[in-house]
Each structure stands twice: as C-alpha cells, then as structure tokens.
C-alpha cells in the first residue's frame, strides 16, 4: 500500500509573471518543509489567464516567462519535490499557445507537459487545444493531469480510469465573477461526482482573489471533500493519498464492465415478461 502527500495551493494569480513566480517559490519552499511529495498550483498561475488578466499575446514577455519558469524548476530541485503548475506553452508562429501544466520532477527537470484538451469557446480565442493525456507515477501512486473545463467531460476521466490513474491533479481558474455565479454552486459538486464515479482522489486548486468563486479542495474517492482552503485567502493545504484506506465505492464492482459497454449489473434474464415493455 502506498501513501502520497499532496500540497494543494491557491493565490491571487495576475498578469505579473515575476510576482506570481515569487509567490510560487515561497509556497514550494514552505510545502517542501512539510515533506510533501507533490505540489499542485492553479491554472495559468505563472502567466496569468489570457483574456482575463491580459488581452492577448501581442508583446507578451516570453523571455521573462522562460527565465521565471527556470526559477520554478530550481525551486522544485531545491525542495526535492514534484511540482505541477499552470502556464502557457508557445507554439510556432501563427499558432496560439497551449494552456498547459508543466510537470516538474524533484531533479528540477520538466518531466512532461499537459495541454488543456477541452478549451471553452472563449479560450479558443487565445489558446490551442491539446491532444494527449499525461500519466506518471509518484511513490507507486499513478497520477494524471487535467485542467479546469476538462471537468465538463466525464469521458476524459474514464480514459484516465482505464489507465489505472488513482490521483488526478486538476488546477482551475474560476476567480473573476463578481457575486454568485453558477460555478459557485456546481464546480465542487461536479468534482465530487467525478471522484466518486471513478474511485479517484482529486486535488483541485483554484486561483484566489477578491472574486474567487470557490476555494481549492481535496476530494477522496468516495466523493467527500476532505479539506478545503479558505475563500479568497492565499495558502496551501497538505492531504494524503493513502491506498490502504477503504472508501465507499458501490460502483467499483461494475465500473470496468460499464466502460466495456456492458450497461447493467448482474446477469440478464431471458423472460418474455421482461421483453414485454407495454404490459402489466
């Protein structure tokens, strides 16, 4: 049985790349002191969100982004921790960048990159969608990466489930609506449903600030919010993925069958009264 300590972080993401990086380095150092294994930051936490924090990519400070990214890699190496953080990955001329997560290993190297597969209609004005999943192992726990709007597509969680993923690290950016928004109501509930219907842990950090729609959460495989950060307050929390624990999971016995297209439990019966769907 394996255990994995996860730090779920939130802070007010902005277009100020250097300020974002300073906050991230501080959190990496503080979390490393708590002996965490992996640190999970919000979507676009280093760059800020195109279309929300800044207009577009004209005159964007790509060289500054590269140099500050290197400081995050160095902080991961110094803390000897895995780090997942949101950024933008530039493509060739004429193509919009990816809204991405860089996965950094404890040696301070980029281990892989996840590009947001499901971009919103607004996202597509600024970003190019991705086309791949990212699966990796930390301390014998199989992990996967998703971003924000991917939440709306249960198929992508099933794809990870087929690969044996136990923990999904899924950063969000829901931090710009003034007043109550539908996302305030449904986002955490949907995350809980994705965890419970797939029997997985989910670390879901969200960008914070004065208009944070919901605080970052950590959800267990039974769909329970084990821990939550404070609304509009920067900080991080540490939770443990512990595969020795048993969680309520009534669909586990039939999940693989359902994914193979067997959309019932038990054994079907051959009975004319079963086939007669109009009689009493």
Reported as a single tens digit per residue, the pLDDT across 265-278 is 999 999 999 999 99
Q: Interhelix angle for 154-162 vs 182-198, to 10°?
A: 30
Those residues with Cβ within 8 angstroms of residue 13's Cβ, 6 or more apart along the chain or in another chain: 20, 42, 44, 45, 48, 49, 53, 173, 175, 207, 208, 209
Q: Transcribe 133-144 into DSSP letters.
A: --EEEETTEEEE
> Rounded distance, CA 44 to CA 100, Å?
7
**Minimal CA–CA distance to 100: which of 60, 56, 134, 143?**
134
Structural domain boundaries in the chain: 3-275
Radius of gyration of the chain (CA): 20
Residue 176 predicted with pLDDT over 90: no
Tell me the pTM: 0.96
Residue 179 predicted with pLDDT over 90: no
pLDDT-derived band at 1, boundaries 50, 70, 90:
confident
Give the containing element (helix H, strand E) for 67.
Answer: helix 62-79
Q: For residue range 194-227, list pLDDT tens digits in order.
A: 999 999 999 999 999 888 999 999 999 999 999 9
CATH number 3.60.110.10 given to 3-275: yes
Give the containing element (helix H, strand E) for 237.
Answer: strand 235-242
Q: Which residue has the tokens 């965490």?
A: 36
Q: What is residue 209's three-state secondary structure?
A: coil
């Amino acid at each position: 049985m394996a255990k994995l300590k996860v730090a779920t972080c939130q802070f007010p993401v902005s277009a100020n790349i250097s300020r974002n990086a300073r906050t991230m380095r501080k959190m990496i150092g503080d979390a490393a002191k708590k002996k965490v294994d992996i640190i999970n930051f919000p979507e676009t936490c280093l760059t800020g969100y195109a279309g929300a924090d800044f207009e577009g990519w004209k005159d964007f400070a790509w060289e500054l982004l590269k140099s500050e990214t290197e400081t995050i890699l160095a902080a991961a190496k110094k803390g000897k921790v895995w780090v997942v953080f949101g950024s933008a990955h530039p493509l060739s001329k004429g193509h919009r960048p990816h809204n991405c997560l860089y996965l950094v290993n404890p040696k301070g190297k980029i281990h892989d990159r996840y590009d947001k597969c499901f971009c919103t209609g607004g996202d597509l004005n600024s970003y190019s969608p991705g086309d791949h999943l990212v699966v990796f192992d930390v301390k014998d726990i199989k992990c996967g990466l998703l971003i924000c709007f991917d939440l709306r597509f249960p198929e992508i969680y099933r794809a990870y489930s087929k690969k044996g993923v136990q923990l999904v690290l899924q950063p969000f950016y829901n931090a710009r609506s003034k007043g109550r928004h539908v996302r305030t109501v449904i986002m955490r509930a949907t995350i809980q449903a994705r965890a419970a219907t797939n029997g997985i842990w989910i670390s879901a950090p969200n960008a914070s600030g004065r208009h944070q729609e919901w605080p970052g959460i950590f959800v267990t495989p039974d769909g329970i919010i084990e821990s939550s950060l404070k609304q509009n307050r920067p900080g991080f929390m540490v939770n443990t993925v512990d595969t020795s624990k048993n969680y309520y999971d009534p669909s586990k016995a039939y999940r693989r069958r359902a994914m193979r297209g067997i959309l019932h439990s038990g054994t079907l019966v051959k009975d004319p009264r079963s086939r007669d769907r109009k009689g009493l």
